[in-house]
Amino acid sequence: MSHYFHTPENITGRRTITARIWDVDYEFDTANGVFSADGLDLGTSVLLRESWPPDHATRLLDLGCGWGPIAVALARECLDAIVDAVDTNELALALTAANAERAGVPDRVRPTLPQHADPDARYDEIWSNPPIRIGKDALHDLLLTWLPRLTDDGVARLVVGRNLGADSLQRWLLEQGYACERVGSAKGFRVFAVTK
């Protein structure tokens, strides 16, 4: 789990990878010490294949942004939106900033630590491949911190591995009073649309 809490003092293994997202080819910088440093992970790939960027969003959140593929792609597709890219890993945030610059959207991607995010921001959509391995209690706390920041008609798009507790997470979200619909499923992952 060290990739969740890495700081950028000693960047090792920096490299450039390619990914195709919504019919656009991107180059991204990654490095050792961040989640899925060798390329777009399977869960995020499923989320991006099973979901499309919103048409009229003005504020979006990439929760657990890693090196920024979701945040960068959303900013490129949603021309009127600011994308908050939140992660606990400072190296991931530095890479997200570099990747936003490379993609030409540095003014609309805002990499930030959770504690520095605007607590009054309300999001049209939250996108996340949440860090399941931090443990159930920590994951629940994370979701209960951020899901209330959805706008009244906002939606959170989450991808969770079936064998990592996707179905139990869906039940828990329903118990918390959220609507949670499975809108996609592929390669052992579930994609959920969560609304108030």
Using one digit for the tens of pLDDT, what is the confidence trace for 27-50?
999 999 899 989 999 999 999 999
In which band, very low, low, confident or very high, does the pLDDT at 9 lie, cut at 50, 70 and 90? low
Quote the CA–CA distance of 167 and 14 in Å, as a whole number.
Answer: 36
55 exposure class (CB count in 10 Å sphere: 0-12, 13-18, 19+): exposed
Query: Does an H or E element contain 96, and which?
Result: helix 90-103
Considering only 7-16, 70-79, 155-164, which range has the smallest mean pLDDT?
7-16
Contact between 33 and 100 (Cβ < 8 Å): no
At a CB cut-off of 8 Å and minimum separation 6, what does 10 contact? none
Question: For residue 60, what are the β-bridge partners?
Answer: 83, 125
- Quote the DSSP letter at residue 101: H
- At 23, list the tokens: 């019919």
Instruction: Write down the pLDDT at residue 11.
Output: 67
SS3 at position 175: helix
Tell me the per-residue pLDDT of 127-183, one tens digit each, with 9 for 90 and over.
Answer: 999 988 888 999 999 999 999 999 999 999 999 999 888 999 999 999 999 999 999
b/e map of 1-23 (b: 16 or more CB within 10 Å)? eebbebeeeebeeeeebebebee
Mean pLDDT calculated for residue range 181-189: 95
- Rounded CA gap, 85 and 60, in Å? 9
Cα separation of 81 and 109, whole Å? 9
